[in-house]
Amino acid sequence: MAKTLPPRSDVRKEETWNAESVFASPAAWEAERQAIEGALPGLSQYPGTLGSGPTALANWLEAASALGRRLETLYFYAAMSQAVETSNMKATAMVGQAGSLYSRYAAAAAFAQPEMLAIGEATLMRWTQDEPRLTVYTHYIRNLFRQQAHVRSGEVEEVLALASDPFQAVSNTEQVLTSADLKFTPATGQDSESVEVAQGTIDTILHSADRDARRSGWENYADGYLSMKNTLASNYSAIVKRDVFYARSRRYESSLEAALFPTNIPVEVFHNLVNTYKKHIPTWHKYWAVRRRALGVETLNPYDIWAPISKTEPHIPFEQSVEWICAGMQPLGDDYVGVLRKGCLEDRWVDRAVNQGKTQGAFSFGSYDTSPFILMSHDESLAALSTLAHELGHSMHSYLTRKNQPYVYSDYSMFVAEVASNFNQAMVRDYLFRTNTDPQFQIALIEEAMDNIHRYFFIMPTLARFELEAHQRAEQGQALTADDLNELMADLFSEGYGSEMQVDRDRVGITWAQFGHLYANFYVFQYATGISAAHALSRRILDGTPHAAADYLSFLSAGSSLYPVDALKGAGVDMSTPDAVETTFGILAEYVDRLDQLTR
C-alpha cells in the first residue's frame, strides 16, 4: 500500500498523457486562447441573416462549428491539465479562462436556434435538399423542432447561455475543494504505520487486507467531508437550484424531464430503473451475508465492502492489462483491437501516474480533434485493469464516433456513454474467467466484478433516488441543509444494507458529497441503465448471435446521429422496458451464488 505520493514533477513521462500532441506548450495554448477571443466578435455578423436562404444558414453553421471545435480543444487541455494536478493554480486559471470564452461563444450563438425555428421546419427541410452543405443537418433540424416548446427567444437564450459561466464555477469549486483543499487524517494500519489518505489512495486503502487501515481510512475520509459538510451542502444546493432554474426557464415540468427530454429519453426509463432496483434489494442483502461469512467477521461494516476475500491479489502491470483487454475485445475485430493497443502503448492516451493532487477517480476525455485521453491511477491491481478496460470503452466509443460522424453528431449522450465502458469490462471479465481457472483468481475476479456492480447497481441507483428527492424538495421550495441531505442519504443506504451491515449514519450519510457526478443533472442513474444494456449486448456477442459484433460497432459509430434509445435498439437491446435491468440483476445473483460456493 502506497505510503506517500510523489509530486507530479517526479512521475515518468510515459505514465502521463500526451499533452504536447494537443498543444506544444502552455504558451501555445495561450496563443490559441487569444486567437479565439479575437475571432469571437466575427460571429456578430450572423444574427438576423439565417432566414435569407440556405447559403446563409450553411455559412453560419460552418463558422459556428469551426470555432466550437477550437474551443472544445482549448477547454479540454485546460481541464485535463488541472485534473492531473489540481494544485496547479495556472491550470485552474486556464479552466476559468476557457470556461468564460465558451460562455461568451454560447451567448453569441444563442440567436441561432430561435431564428431557425422562425424559418419553419418545412422550409429548412427543403433547404437541406437545395444546399449540399445542409444535408447532414437533417436529423439535427428535426430534433430542434421536437424541442421547439423549450427553446426561448434569442434574448432569453443569450441570458441562459451567459449563466453557464457562473454555474460552472460551482462545479469547479467542488472539484478544487475536494481534490486540492480538503485534507484527510492519515489512516493507521495494524503495524501502526500511517498511510496517506487522498483521492488517489482511498480506493487502495479500502481494498487492503488490513482491517484497521480500512476502518481508519474510511472513517478519516468521511470525516474530512463531514468537516466541510455545510460548505459542501451549500454548494450542492446551488447546483440543484441551477437545475431547477434551467428546467423552469425552459418550461419543463421537472428537473428530471429537463435532463432527459433533450436526448428523447422517457422519464419512465428512470423510474423503471429505480423500481427494479428496489424490487431486487434482497439480492444485495444476500451478498452482504455471503461477504460477511467469507471474511469471517461478526459484523460487516461499509469499509468491509471492498476487503479482499481471495488469498492472493493478482499483480498486473500496465502492459499486461493492455494485452488482456485486447484479448477480451478480440471478438470486435483486429481494427478495434489495433487502435486500442496503439493508443495505450504508443500514443499515450492514458495518464496512469499516481501522484499528489491528481483528481479522484477515472475518466475518458478529449475533443473532436484530439485523441480520446484517459485519466486514472493505475496501481497494477485487478481493479486497475478493470478501470482501464472501462475507460477504454469510452475512448473507443469516442474514437469511432469522431471517425464516422461529422462534428454536429460527434458527441453522444450520457445515457449511452456507460454502455461502451461496461461492455468492455463484461467482455474482458468473460475472457479472464475462461482462461484462468485458478480458484483464487476466480474469487478475485468475482470480487472485481462485484466492486463494479456494487458501484453501478447499488451506489448509483441509491444516489439517483437521493438526487430525485433533493430536486423535488428544491422544486417545492424546501431548503437543502447538510443535516437534511445526510439523513436522506443514511436512510437510503440503510435500506440497501439491511440487517447484515452496521451503519454509521453520519459517515454513511456524507456519501453524497463524495460523488462529483451529482453535479451533472440526473447522470448517476445512467450508470445503472448503461451497465444493463452493456451486459445484454455482450451476451449477444458471447452467445454467437449473428451480426451482433457488427451491430455493436455500428452503435459505437452512431454518435448523436440517432436518439440513444433508438441506437441501442439497433444494437439489439430495448431500454424502454426493464428487461435489460432484470437480466443484469440475474447476472448479479449468479456472481453471489458463485462466490458463495467458491468460499465455502
Which active-site residues does the annotation give? Answer: 391
Q: Taking the C-alpha atoms of 320, 325, 330 and 333 in order, what is their torsion angle to the nearest 10 degrees? A: -110
Neighbouring-strand partners of residue 365:
373
- Residue 182 and residue 97: Cα distance in Å, rounded? 24
The x, y and z cell numbers of residue 237, run together, are 444546493
What would you measure as the largest C-alpha separation in the chain, in angstroms?
77
CA angle 432, 582, 307 (to 5 degrees): 50
The x, y and z cell numbers of residue 498, run together, are 439491511
Question: Mapping DSSP to helix (H, G, I), strand (E, B) and coil, where does residue 351 land?
Answer: strand
Q: Taking the C-alpha atoms of 432, 435, 439 and 443 in order, what is their torsion angle to the nearest 10 degrees? A: 10
Instruction: Please provide the DSSP assignment of 453-518 as one string.
Output: HHIIIIIHHHHHHHHHHHHHHHHTT----HHHHHHHHHHHHHHHHGGGB---HHHHHGGGGG-GGG
Sign of CA dihedral 193, 198, 200, 201: positive
No. of H helices and E strands in the chain?
Answer: 25, 5
In the block, which residue shows the cell 462466490?
595
CB atoms within 10 A of CB 129: 11
- Residue 92 and residue 95: Cα distance in Å, rounded? 5
- Residue 420 and residue 398: Cα distance in Å, rounded? 10
Q: Which of 518, 522, 530 is nearest to 564 (CA)?
A: 530
Q: At 41, which amino acid appears?
A: P
- Residue 470 and residue 521: Cα distance in Å, rounded? 11
7 Cβ neighbours under 8 A, 6+ residues apart: 355, 356, 357
564 Cβ neighbours under 8 A, 6+ residues apart: 263, 264, 265, 412, 413, 415, 416
Neighbouring-strand partners of residue 300:
501
Q: Which of 134, 121, 2, 104 is nearest to 44 (CA)?
A: 104
In the block, which residue shows the cell 449563466?
163
Instruction: Please provide the DSSP assignment of 565-579 as one string.
Output: HHHHHHHT--TTSSH
- Residue 445 and residue 383: Cα distance in Å, rounded? 9
